[in-house]
């Protein structure tokens, strides 16, 4: 075990009036003491904040005034001694403080190393560690709530329960193997096995079903607004953005600067795809035609297809419907304030099962209904069920699917009267796969890979 004392700036770079340099490890307190002039940090009680001056011991120069928090193991995030040096002031000063502790015995932490230590020291499990990462990246309150619950160990508890039930199942199998001469034991065991496995199977399935919603809450519903020029796409976008707080984030590292725009609709984040296409170049369809719309549609979870009530239904409209077929589509018939030219029967026929919402965005009509439809389409009203445990992590979803498949095989074996020790292999394998979610049975390389995705200082 690596017991070197690590240090990093643990507040977001360039933000806030206070920055924190965090130290973790056996030497945390003594390194801090070397550079701190005030109370003796070795003597202060744990979890106290102490005012003092930071002095460079080599030059005796004053670096900063600061508040230093001492937290002694094991009641800390890493279960090691932690010292947090609060510096006010900008990047220059916080970097100087970091340098100071680095030259006095600490090593710069790798990204995610604090959280990794918390995991390795048994303070949190893997799914909780991943939640820390999600929390850092959360773009909406809802996403943050999922991450917080996961961090709180909610998913972990559920997984532990399922694993426990599988263990009991395996124990029954053991009894059977040990006393094969009792016929009735075998029969009873088999029945019980199937029942128990079915119970676990159902719960795994339920969890997988939350994944779509979990992903949406985490990443937003990728939404494409399509329609012929001038039907009101930009107006719709603005209306959604205006009523709901729009969050604009730049995605660095992409070829052109793609701007992702989020709007919250009834607590559901919509990630508007290719808003630049709608906003600036004035119309995807006009400029690049239906082909481009198809590209945009590829990444979309939801399509808002806008039509003009004051205009005839055209061949181009029909082709847009065609391009969006098989997707979640809401049809918006806009400009209902104009004299009707649109053949609504034809729209209904073409829309098939998709809902049709009439709006006059100009007069701010129909937008509420549109928002309800969006919410219903993805959450059937149960979004506010606070007790729901959502699975939102792709790795977890994959493992749950693997577990489901393996358990299915075990159950088929039981029903087909397969030798019980064969069944046992599949049940045990399911138990192992579930263990990978919480990190009980993962290899070291995976752990390294997961933690390397963290931000520095976490
Ligand atoms: P886009 O080309 O599809 O993005 O359409 P725009 O949002 O740019 O709107 C085109 C024009 O239609 C603008 O002048 C809007 O003000 C107008 N418009 C948008 N919604 C309505 C509506 O509900 N009724 C009427 N009468 N005009 C609208
Ligand atoms: Zn437009």
Which residues surround ligand 1 with Cβ inside 6 Å?
227, 229-235, 278, 283, 334-335, 337-338, 360-362
State the Cα–Cα distance between residues 261 and 258, nearest whole angstrom: 10
Q: Which ligand has the minimum distance to the alpha carbon of residue 226? A: 1
Most confident residue range from 5-19, 87-101, 425-439: 425-439
Write the residue with the smallest CA distance to atom 14 of ligand 1: 230
Burial 307-343 (b: 16+ CB within 10 A, else e): bbbebebeeebeebbebbeeebbbbbbbbbeeeeebe
Are 129 and 119 in contact by the 8 Å Cβ rule? The answer is yes
ipTM field: 0.98
Most confident residue range from 187-196, 214-223, 349-358, 441-450: 349-358
Average the pLDDT over each of 108-122, 248-262, 287-301, 427-441 and give the range with the smallest value: 248-262
Sheet of 107-108: strand order equals: 36-38, 48-56, 61-71, 82-88, 18-24, 6-9, 107-108
- The answer for residues whose C-beta is within 8 angstroms of residue 21's C-beta and 6 or more apart is 7, 8, 9, 10, 84, 85, 87, 94, 97, 98, 101
Higher pLDDT, 317 or 186: 317
Write the residue with the smallest CA distance to atom 28 of ligand 1: 362
User: Span 278-298, mean pLDDT?
Assistant: 55
404 is in an annotated binding site: no
pTM here is 0.56
Higher pLDDT, 7 or 18: 7
> What is the pLDDT at residue 256?
34
386 is in an annotated binding site: no
Q: Model confidence at 279, in pLDDT bands (50, 70, 90)?
A: very low
How high does pLDDT run on average in the chain?
A: 80
Q: Please state the three-class secondary structure of 294-330 as a single string.
A: HHHHHCCCEEEEEEECCCCCCHHHHHHHHHCCCCEEE
> What is the pLDDT at residue 390?
73
> What is the pLDDT at residue 13?
52
pLDDT tens column, 25-40: 999 999 999 999 999 9
pLDDT tens column, 332-365: 999 999 999 999 999 999 999 999 999 999 999 9
State the Cα–Cα distance between residues 319 and 324, nearest whole angstrom: 9
User: Span 235-255, mean pLDDT?
Assistant: 57
**Which among 230, 314, 340 is the best mutation to test ligand 1's pocket, defined by most ligand atoms within 8 Å of the CB?**
230
Closest Cα to residue 207, out of 410, 380, 402, 373?
Answer: 402
Average the pLDDT over each of 90-99, 172-181, 286-295, 353-362 and give the range with the smallest value: 286-295
Q: How far is the CA of 279 from the centre of ligand 2 (A)?
A: 6
Q: Which atom of ligand 1 is nearest to the CA of 230?
A: 2
Q: Model confidence at 239, in pLDDT bands (50, 70, 90)?
A: confident
- The answer for residues whose C-beta is within 8 angstroms of residue 364's C-beta and 6 or more apart is 239
**Which among 224, 226, 229, 232 is the best mutation to test ligand 1's pocket, defined by most ligand atoms within 8 Å of the CB?**
232
Average the pLDDT over each of 146-160, 196-210, 245-259, 309-323 and give the range with the smallest value: 245-259
pLDDT tens column, 171-185: 766 666 666 565 555
Place of tokens 């017991």: 3
What proportion of the chain, given as a percentage, has pLDDT over 90?
34
Q: How far is the CA of 226 from the centre of ligand 1 (A)?
A: 13
* Domains of the chain from N-terminus onward: 6-109 (3.30.1360.120), 132-215+393-451 (1.20.120.430), 220-384 (3.40.50.300)
Is the predicted pLDDT of residue 250 greater than 70, yes or no?
no
pLDDT tens column, 428-438: 899 999 999 88
Write the residue with the smallest CA distance to atom 21 of ligand 1: 362
Higher pLDDT, 439 or 303: 303
Strand partners, 388: none
Are 64 and 91 in contact by the 8 Å Cβ rule? The answer is no
Residue 76 phi, psi dihedral angles, 5° rounding: -135, 170
> What is the pLDDT at residue 185?
59
69 is in an annotated binding site: no
For residue 109, what are the CA distances in angstroms to 70, 274, 306, 452? Answer: 18, 38, 51, 11
Closest Cα to residue 151, out of 138, 166, 167?
Answer: 138
Is the predicted pLDDT of residue 380 greater than 90, yes or no?
no
Closest Cα to residue 371, out of 177, 230, 199, 236?
Answer: 236
Q: Which atom of ligand 1 is nearest to the CA of 310?
A: 26
Higher pLDDT, 409 or 245: 409
């Amino acid at each position: 075990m690596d017991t070197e004392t690590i240090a990093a700036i643990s507040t977001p770079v360039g933000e806030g009036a206070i920055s924190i340099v965090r130290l973790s490890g056996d030497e945390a307190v003594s390194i801090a003491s070397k550079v701190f002039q005030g109370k003796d940090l070795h003597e202060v009680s744990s979890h106290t904040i102490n005012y003092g001056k930071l002095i460079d011991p080599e030059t005796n120069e004053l670096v900063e005034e600061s508040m230093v928090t001492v937290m002694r193991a094991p009641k800390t995030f890493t279960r090691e001694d932690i010292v947090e040096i609060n510096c006010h002031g900008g990047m220059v000063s916080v970097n100087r403080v970091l340098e100071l502790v680095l030259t006095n015995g600490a090593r710069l932490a790798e990204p995610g190393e604090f959280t990794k230590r918390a995991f390795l020291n048994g303070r949190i499990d893997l799914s909780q560690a991943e939640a820390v990462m999600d929390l850092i990246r959360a773009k909406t309150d809802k996403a943050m709530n999922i991450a917080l619950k996961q961090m709180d160990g909610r998913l972990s508890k559920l997984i532990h329960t399922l694993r426990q039930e599988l263990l009991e199942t395996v124990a029954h199998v053991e009894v059977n193997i040990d006393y094969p001469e009792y016929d009735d034991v075998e029969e009873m065991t088999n029945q019980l096995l199937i029942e128990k496995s079915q119970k676990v199977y159902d719960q795994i399935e339920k969890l997988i079903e939350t994944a779509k919603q979990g992903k949406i809450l985490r990443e937003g519903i990728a939404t494409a607004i399509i329609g012929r020029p001038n039907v009101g796409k930009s107006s719709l976008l603005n209306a959604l953005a205006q009523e709901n707080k729009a969050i604009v984030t730049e995605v660095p590292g992409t070829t052109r600067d793609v701007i992702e725009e989020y709007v919250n609709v009834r607590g559901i984040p919509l990630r508007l795809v290719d808003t630049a296409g709608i906003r600036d170049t004035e119309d995807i369809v006009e400029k690049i035609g239906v082909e481009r719309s198809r590209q945009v549609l590829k990444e979309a979870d939801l399509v808002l297809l806008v039509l003009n009530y004051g205009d005839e239904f055209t061949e181009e409209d029909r082709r847009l419907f065609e391009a969006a077929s098989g997707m979640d589509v809401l049809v918006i018939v806009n400009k209902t304030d104009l004299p009707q030219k649109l053949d609504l029967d034809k729209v209904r026929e073409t829309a098939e099962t998709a809902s049709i919402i009439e709006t006059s965005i100009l007069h701010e009509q129909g937008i509420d209904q549109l928002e309800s439809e969006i919410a219903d389409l993805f959450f059937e009203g149960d979004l506010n069920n606070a007790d729901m445990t959502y699975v939102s992590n792709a790795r977890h979803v994959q493992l749950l699917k693997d577990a489901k498949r393996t358990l299915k095989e075990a159950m088929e074996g039981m029903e087909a009267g397969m030798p019980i020790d064969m069944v046992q292999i599949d049940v045990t394998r399911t138990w192992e796969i579930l263990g990978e979610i919480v990190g009980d049975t993962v290899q070291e390389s995976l752990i390294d890979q997961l933690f390397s995705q963290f931000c520095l200082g976490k």
